[in-house]
Structure 1
Amino acid sequence: MNAPRRPINPFPLPGWESTPMRPLRPWEREAHRDYYVDVDGAESAFQEFQQEVGDLTGVLEDGRLVLVTGDSGCGKTALVNRCADWTVLELGRRDLRGVVVDLTGCLPEDEELSIHERTVQVCDQLFDKLVDHGAMSPQAADTLRGDRDNPKRIFPRLGRALNDDVVLLVLLPSPNELLDEVIRYARQLRSPRVLFFAESAFFDADDLAELVRRLETWVPPITLLVGKLEDGDPGRFADDRLVRHTGVGIYPRLSDQAAELLGRICQSVAMVQRILHGTYERKLEAGLSYTEADQVTVDDIRAYLNGLGMQP
């Protein structure tokens, strides 16, 4: 006999029910692969990445840098993680092992560091991650250990130090001094079989044009733009999440008027997720009007926002 369905909040990601605002991370959690929704133009950006990377020859021979730009909360990190996951799967089809090293949180938030200091810390922590993943032979690790905090020596030698079946995917901290830091990774620190990913909310079209110009004699970065929410995106996101858990739990649907309100007040997909999760959680905890016959209404959303001191 199947277990009875219980009232649930349909908006957290699988495995991260207690941290509903964490971005999709399919290279670590396979269940997340099916949770991408085409909002903010993210699907076209992902397809552009696939086209640019192609058969991975450029990555294997020269290494590449991928820079994802867009407003805060628009899904940049989720796109980076999707691109990394796709690359790992493609490498697996070639009997190669993609090793993802997440260094996005490796720098202190309370210190102002120069580009050199930032890359030194990234390099130093990368070395430990490579050892932990078994990405290098013990002999290569011993050879590089003395230079582990010297980016100009470590990064260009990574391609030769990695095991023959390994391709490295490095998720970098968001660049601080923007153009100059990105250019350093793209020009001075790139290496065969190393794919860097970086994201920033501070690049505009002029910055990207300048980046391409300054790297025109080098391997150009792959630049992906995640745009703003378009008409219908909030409703499409809500519909996708609401149909996923009908077999395991019960919850009210979103009224048409509530979906329209989300479209008016939300500037990013992160804001859509935050409001929907919070509204459903508040209604669930109240224990009232939380059946499949009920609706989440405009008043429910306003009550949640008022509780945060926000006016819809």
Structure 2
Amino acid sequence: MTGPAMTVNPFALPEDPERETPPLNCRSKHSSSPECYVDVGDAFQNFASFEKRLERLGRLQETGLFVPVGGPSGSGKTSLINRCAARALDLLKEQGISAEPINLTGEGRNTRLTVEQRTGRVGGKLVRELQQRSSVFVKTKYTEPLTEPDTLPDLQAWMSAAHQAMNENSVAVVRTPSTELLDEIAIYWSGVYPRMLVFTESPGEGVDKSFDGTSWEQTDTAEWLYLEGRFIENGEVLTFIKKRLDIPGKGTTFPDLDLDSFDGFFGGGNLATVGAAQSLLYRVYQHGLQEGWRAATMVTAGHLGEFIREAEGSTG
């Protein structure tokens, strides 16, 4: 049975440029506003820790901050980094500081390279990106890192050279490529200088156990703050669903969800993440958009079960 015409998939990812409509009805001018996010998997607690660290540091121009974000795949690490970076940019601009976001997540993915080669490429890319941003970078102050013949500069050399050429009243908000390697995370930390806020995402768990400040070389001024996502618990997915469905057109442009039937479907020891829940719900709604709905106005947990069984049957 075909249900209401659905023009918006309420579980599309806001970070996905292929989706024309974000899932949340975010009316705030601040992209880091709580209205734009859902408190699932300690998201708000992590964000509050980040805000407190920013407040304690005071001036990022005078100290560097390294923020590794760990947790299982799908636990909201990217969304947390997006929110923290947005808050930092908002705050810096309110303070009259020139701040530029620099996304390096696509660099250094060649697995045939060594850790030093990969991170070195990231450092070189950072310098090239900064050179295009006159609000934070003074080209006449820049000096290429010195190396031995036939040797490329390492990440710390690139970052040091970049730091020396940055405007004193500026901050670069940098996202490095994701990595599971503690040695690679340590290299990123060692390259953080004043006027730099650097985020590194890691799908590994327990990363913070090695952040003891003594086993890894650390710059004199850079501090670190470890944030970690987790698996969702019973009841949390309902919070997530309600927020995602609170957008214009609820009940008219797409079928609603029978929330009561979802308690326990995710979480409760199933080691599910908010990303896994969102992915499944997105696929169910997308299937309904393309194929039509078997129920007119409501999507139930039974629909999810049928969808999972059909998907397993098609691959088995």
Pair in the same fold by TM > 0.5: yes
Report what 2:163 is aligned to.
Answer: 159
Report what 1:185 is aligned to.
Answer: 188
Q: Any idea what SS the aligned residue of 2:48 has?
A: helix
Q: Any idea what SS the aligned residue of 1:167 has?
A: strand
Report what 1:174 is aligned to.
Answer: 178
CA deviations on 1:256-310 (whole Å, 9 max, x unpaired) are 214542346560011111111111121222334575xx11012311232223217
CA deviations on 1:147-192 (whole Å, 9 max, x unpaired) are 89443332123333113442011111123531x32223323x2211
Quote how far apart the aligned CAs of 1:69 are: 1.2
* 1:278 and 2:283 correspond: yes
Name stretches of at least 5 consecutive residues in structure 2 with no aligned partner.
none
- Over 3 Å counting, the alpha-carbon distance change for 1:68 and 1:152 in structure 2 is closer
Q: Any idea what SS the aligned residue of 1:262 has?
A: coil
| 8 Å contact kept, 2:63–2:195 | yes
TM-score of the pair, normalised by structure 2? 0.81
CA deviations on 1:125-150 (whole Å, 9 max, x unpaired) are 11221123333123134x33888944
Instruction: Give the distance between the partners of 1:273 and 1:248, measured in 2 at CA.
Output: 19
| 8 Å contact kept, 2:107–2:122 | yes
Instruction: Give the distance between the partners of 1:185 and 1:298, measured in 2 at CA.
Output: 44
Name stretches of at least 5 consecutive residues in structure 1 with no aligned partner.
none
Q: Any idea what SS the aligned residue of 2:61 has?
A: helix
Report what 2:257 is aligned to.
Answer: 254
Instruction: Give the distance between the partners of 2:160 and 2:257, measured in 1 at CA.
Output: 53
- Over 3 Å counting, the alpha-carbon distance change for 1:185 and 1:32 in structure 2 is closer
Instruction: Give the distance between the partners of 1:278 and 1:37, measured in 2 at CA.
Output: 20
- Over 3 Å counting, the alpha-carbon distance change for 1:263 and 1:17 in structure 2 is farther
| 8 Å contact kept, 1:23–1:77 | no
- Over 3 Å counting, the alpha-carbon distance change for 1:301 and 1:176 in structure 2 is closer
Instruction: Give the distance between the partners of 1:212 and 1:15, measured in 2 at CA.
Output: 33
Quote how far apart the aligned CAs of 1:40 are: 0.4
| 8 Å contact kept, 1:60–1:193 | yes
Q: Any idea what SS the aligned residue of 2:132 has?
A: helix
Instruction: Give the distance between the partners of 1:140 and 1:23, measured in 2 at CA.
Output: 44
* 1:12 and 2:12 correspond: yes
TM-score of the pair, normalised by structure 1? 0.82
What aligned pairs does 1:18-167 form with structure 2 within 5 A after superposition?
18-19=18-19, 34-54=35-55, 56-57=57-58, 59-109=60-110, 111-134=111-134, 135-141=136-142, 143-144=143-144, 149-167=153-171
Instruction: Give the distance between the partners of 1:136 and 1:51, measured in 2 at CA.
Output: 28
| 8 Å contact kept, 1:234–1:262 | yes
- Over 3 Å counting, the alpha-carbon distance change for 1:295 and 1:92 in structure 2 is same
Per residue, is there more helix in 1 or in 2?
1
Aligned match for 1:307, one of 295, 304, 310? 310
Q: Quick one: which amino acid aligns to residue 38 of structure 1?
A: D
* 1:208 and 2:208 correspond: yes
Count of paired positions? 295
Instruction: Give the distance between the partners of 1:14 and 1:171, measured in 2 at CA.
Output: 18
- Over 3 Å counting, the alpha-carbon distance change for 1:258 and 1:164 in structure 2 is same
| 8 Å contact kept, 2:123–2:156 | no
Q: Any idea what SS the aligned residue of 2:62 has?
A: helix
- Over 3 Å counting, the alpha-carbon distance change for 1:10 and 1:82 in structure 2 is same
Q: Quick one: which amino acid aligns to residue 300 of structure 1?
A: H
